[in-house]
Amino acid sequence: MALSESLDEAGYRFDQVQKKCFEAYFMQLYRWNKRINLTSVDEENYITHHLLDSLSVLEDLHGETILDMGTGAGLPGVVLAIAQPEKQFTLLDARKKKIMFVNAVKTALSLNNINAVHCRVEDHRTSLKYSTVVTRAFARIDKIFHLAQPHLEPHGRIIAMKGRLSAQEMNQLGHIGLHYEVKSVEVFGLDAHRNVVTIYKDRLQI
């Protein structure tokens, strides 16, 4: 199924400019991936595994400033930046080749709401605090929390895109001390278990 049809079938309503941007992004990903390893996902699975999976947190984004922590090949950050051009996205990764790719995509697609940063999250120094920190297949929940928390504004939230959650990770969530929600999501066309964990900086557990 073509990208535009997949978006429509999944219930997303984007204009033709946005759909063309999605197509151009994945064309860039395919071309670059033949030269340097950006993703292990085969091209025929880009729509389900990358596009629709990234969009599964679209309605969970909070505020105007978003940090994609460990963006890799720009996932979910590039997809979300195309989907919500009114928000500002910082895409951070410690691997230089990944940020080179993100910058190339930013230039090619004129995505002026993206700032690509090459560094470890521990070394990220900025006066800007983020409304939302989002991660996708990045690390354990406790590590995500401790790395993301210093970068959040007072009413910010952390969104962790996870597969199946282990009992150990659920225990880690319980020890954080902040209110959290775990939402099971179904990604159109993707036969895999997906969870979205949202941690609220300003809400204590009750």
What per-residue confidence (pLDDT) applies to 206?
54
7 closest CA partner among 67, 50, 71, 62: 50
* Partners of 204 in beta bridges: 178
Neighbours of 169 (CB within 10 A): 19
Give the pLDDT confidence score for residue 200 in this predicted structure: 92
Higher pLDDT, 145 or 174: 145
CA end-to-end span of the chain, whole Å?
45
Separation CA 195–CA 120 (nearest Å): 25
The CATH number for 94's domain is 3.40.50.150
Domain count, the chain: 1
**Model confidence band, residue 1 (pLDDT cutoffs 50, 70, 90):** low
Confidence (pTM): 0.94
pLDDT band at 155 (very low <50, low <70, confident <90, very high): very high
- Per the structure, the complete domain to which residue 84 belongs is given by 3-204
Per-residue pLDDT tens for 78-134?
999 999 999 999 999 999 999 999 999 999 999 999 999 999 999 998 888 999 999
Collect all residues with Cβ–Cβ distance below 8 Å to 129 and sequence separation of at least 6: 65, 151, 152, 153, 156
pLDDT at site 111: 98
- Give which of 123, 177, 193 is closest to 145, Cα–Cα: 177
Residue 167: pLDDT band by 50, 70, 90 thresholds? confident
